[in-house]
Amino acid sequence: MDVAITGASGLIGSALAANLRAGGDRVRPLVRGPSDDPDAVRWDPAAGTIDADGLEGVDVVVHLAGAGIGDKRLTAARRQVVLESRTHGTALIARTLAEMDTPPRVLVSASAVGVYGSRGDEVLTEQSPPGDDFVATLVEAWEGAARPAAEAGIRTVFLRTAPVLSAKGGILPRMALPFRLFVGGRIGSGRQWMSWVSLDDVVGIVRFVIDRDDIRGPINVVAPEPITNADLTAALGRALHRPTLLPVPPAALRLVLGDGRTDSLLLASQRVEPAALVEAGYTFVHPRLDAALASAFGGAA
């Protein structure tokens, strides 16, 4: 199998590329700068350019690139950067694939559970309507940018991914740091729901949807056990052998991170379930949080 990947150097992309290569598949990373990889394909989403010839013969495109929502304070300027990095790159990929004489059989495009907004205790599946905050609006536009590929008949799958738990990067090292310093605790009331997924399962789910011709549209990439922030706090304390006595007041987080990141990422309540994956028969590597954290940390505190 010949697979092109944008964001191949990121947390998910690098793990996916390694998994594919280990299985004998060819990986063509899309890169913005010089590369020693003979299979690399040049593209520049900001300039709207891509080496379409380099994608000839590709069976699958996995599009993961985009500026991180939680990486920096969500000022108005940063919101625009995040929006453009996700919609412009996705639109470029989708248009390019739609215009190919022999397009790939499937486009697997990154998305996020943030599309549902903050919904309290409501159970959310792929059939749930979107929310109305910035992240929800962003994700709707992000998925909408892939429309040319879907309209051209390319099977298109949107990975509505929850926060990925891996000690190698993403949200987990930042969440773990206060616990390592003995100041970890629940955020606010701790009653807000959080969906999550292990890195092993993200890779497994990508492989699963590539092979299943009947899967298209949005897929919730989440473990089957959503948890509350209080439950997450307790599990992190157990995994790192640290106390969890000090609650973190929302006002302190807003002061440090800004309202956008605090309200959209840390205080939002999203009880998302993987209904489509369960129906399709995917078997989770890490369905339970304690085991996922133990695997991520490798038993090290």
> Given this model, what pLDDT does residue 34 score?
86
- Which strands make up the sheet holding 49-50, listed edge to edge? 49-50, 41-44, 26-31, 2-6, 60-63, 106-112, 155-161, 217-221
CATH superfamily entry for domain 2-297:
NAD(P)-binding Rossmann-like Domain (3.40.50.720)
> Given this model, what pLDDT does residue 249 score?
57
Q: What is the pTM of this model?
A: 0.92
For 93-147, what is each residue's pLDDT tens digit?
999 999 999 999 999 999 999 999 999 999 999 999 999 998 899 999 999 999 9
Strand partners, 219: 159
CA 32 to chain centroid: 21
In the predicted structure, residue 68 carries a pLDDT above the cut 80: no
Confidence band for 76, pLDDT divided at 50, 70 and 90: confident
Which one, of 53, 86, 47, lies nearest residue 68 by Cα?
86
* H or E stretch covering 41: strand 41-44
- Alpha-carbon span 82 to 61, nearest angstrom: 21
Per-position b or e across 80-103, b if 16+ CB within 10 A of its CB: eebbebbbbbbbbbbbbbbeeeeb
In the predicted structure, residue 176 carries a pLDDT above the cut 80: yes
| Helices marked H in the chain | 11-22, 76-98, 134-144, 147-151, 171-180, 199-211, 229-240, 250-257, 259-261, 275-280, 289-297
- Alpha-carbon span 44 to 67, nearest angstrom: 14
For 217-227, what is each residue's pLDDT tens digit?
999 999 999 99
Sign of dihedral through CA atoms 52, 206, 74, 143? positive
> Which residues are within 8 A (CB) of 47 and not within 5 positions of it... i.e. 6 or more apart?
none
